[in-house]
Structure 1
Amino acid sequence: MQNNKTFRMAVGTLMVATSITTWAQNGETASAASASAMAASGTAAPATGRKANRALRRKIYAAIGKHKEISAGNISVTAKDGAVTLNGTVTEASQVDKVAEIAKGVPGVTSVANKLTVRKPFGGM
């Protein structure tokens, strides 16, 4: 009876230790370890994935927002591994190319597909 209880306690402890180790490997500890290994080898791969795509989109929106003459409210940016697609409307034809140039100037952008169109605001001439 005592051996059975001890055995169950040992198995339970082993399961807890294994699950904690697995959880830690899936968390930031593993990311930090792989990042330091990449830095040590001297070959840093470009950031990919959803998180990197969202960060690139935010950088592009911020760059466009610095230009007050451009109304960015109707512009959507899609980014995937450095390839950027601009959709939506601007109020002047000159802004179509300007927005594309701004996006191309953001670090991490490898290509820009410009699908912007010109649309005057309501009541505009």
Structure 2
Amino acid sequence: MKAIRIAGAVLLMAGCINGYAQGASAADSASVEASASAPANAASGAVSNRQLAASVRSALRSAHRHGLKSSYIRVRANGGVVTLTGVVADDSQIGLATSVAQRVPGVSSVVNKLKLRVVAGVKGSE
């Protein structure tokens, strides 16, 4: 809902700026249009980052059948770069999580900051 409000505000601003630009020179118009599209790109970038992170989380959950327990893995995305943080039970799950994340469309690279549960000092199923 918040994204829709932001998009509406951006469109309203773009319309106002476009009306103002109609009276300006061609150089001024290009400058105004470029600045009007910056907030729209930022808003759409945030949405696509969230969508990418959600896609990676879904792929990690689906890898459960391959032995990956993703309950304690957090996913962040920024411009195609996905960062995995949290804890896993063993080394093989670190590699598996990285591999799964890299195969998600839109992921350009994966920064793996996963730790072993034992090394991180987490006991049991925490």
TM-score (norm 1): 0.59
The correspondence of residues 23-34 of structure 1 with structure 2, limited to 5 A, is: 25-26=11-12
How far off is 1:85 after superposition? 0.7
Tell me the residue number matched to 1:78. Answer: 76
Q: Describe the SS at the equivalent of 2:106.
A: coil
For 1:74, give the aligned amino acid.
Y
2:55 pairs with 1:54:
no
How far off is 1:70 after superposition? 1.4
Q: 1:107 to 1:123 in 2, by over 3 A?
A: closer
Tell me the residue number matched to 1:122. Answer: 123
Identity %: 34
CA RMSD of aligned residues (A): 2.9
Tell me the residue number matched to 2:22. Answer: none
For the Cα contact (< 8 Å) 2:117–2:123, is it kept in 1?
no
Give unmatched runs, 5+ long, in structure 2. Answer: 1-7, 14-43
Task: Give the number of aligned pairs.
Answer: 85
Give me the whole-angstrom Cα distance separating, in 2, the residues matched to 1:24 and 1:50: 14
For the Cα contact (< 8 Å) 2:89–2:116, is it kept in 1?
yes
TM-score (norm 2): 0.59
Task: Return structure 1 stretches of 4+ with deviation > 6 angstroms.
Answer: none
For the Cα contact (< 8 Å) 2:82–2:110, is it kept in 1?
yes
Give me the whole-angstrom Cα distance separating, in 2, the residues matched to 1:89 and 1:83: 20
- The structure with the largest helix share of the pair is 2
Tell me the residue number matched to 2:88. Answer: 90
Q: Describe the SS at the equivalent of 2:110.
A: strand
